[in-house]
Each structure stands twice: as C-alpha cells, then as structure tokens.
Amino acid sequence: MFALSVAVLITAVAAFGNAATQRPDAYTATGKLTKPTWLAILGGAILLAVLGIYGGSVFAAAIAAAAAGVYLADVRPKLLEIQGKR
C-alpha cells in the first residue's frame, strides 16, 4: 500500500506541475474550471496523498488519485488541443 500511495503522490505532483505551466485562458476556452481552481484541487490532492503515505489513509489516497486522474485524463488533453500542442 505504501508503494501505491507514493505513486499517487508522484502522479499528483506531476499533474500540479503540468497544470501550473498551462496558459490561464486555455482553461476557460475548454469550458473547464479555472486555472487557480485546478491548482487548488491538485494541491489538495498532494496533501491527501501525503496523508495517505504518513497517515495510512487509503481513502485520502483514493481521492488524490481521482483528482489527479481527472485532470490528466480529461482536462490536460483538452488544454493541449486548445493550445495546438497536440
């Protein structure tokens, strides 16, 4: 379970880093939440992933994985498409 929680943390940090490098106007152009909102969600996911590692909370790690997964699977591809990076 520890290794899975670490993988969730790495994924959440990667998602946060990617979200931070995208243009703010691309978020609104895709009809998704704003950039600050996604940064807050993914920042919270990082905190939950840390709780999953040090607190042993599987539920917290699952929420973190879901948040990072939604960003990486749904929002990121649309951001890249809008910006012509695809």
Query: What is residue 57's predicted lDDT score, i.e. its pLDDT?
Result: 86
What are the residue boundaries of the structural domains of the chain, listed by start? 2-82
* CA triple 44-49-51, angle to 5 deg: 95
Rounded-to-integer distance, Cα 37 and Cα 33, Å: 6
Segment 5-24 shows an average pLDDT of: 97
Structure-derived torsion over alpha carbons of residues 59, 65, 70, 76, reported in degrees to the nearest 10:
160
The mean pLDDT of the chain is 94
The pTM is what?
0.93
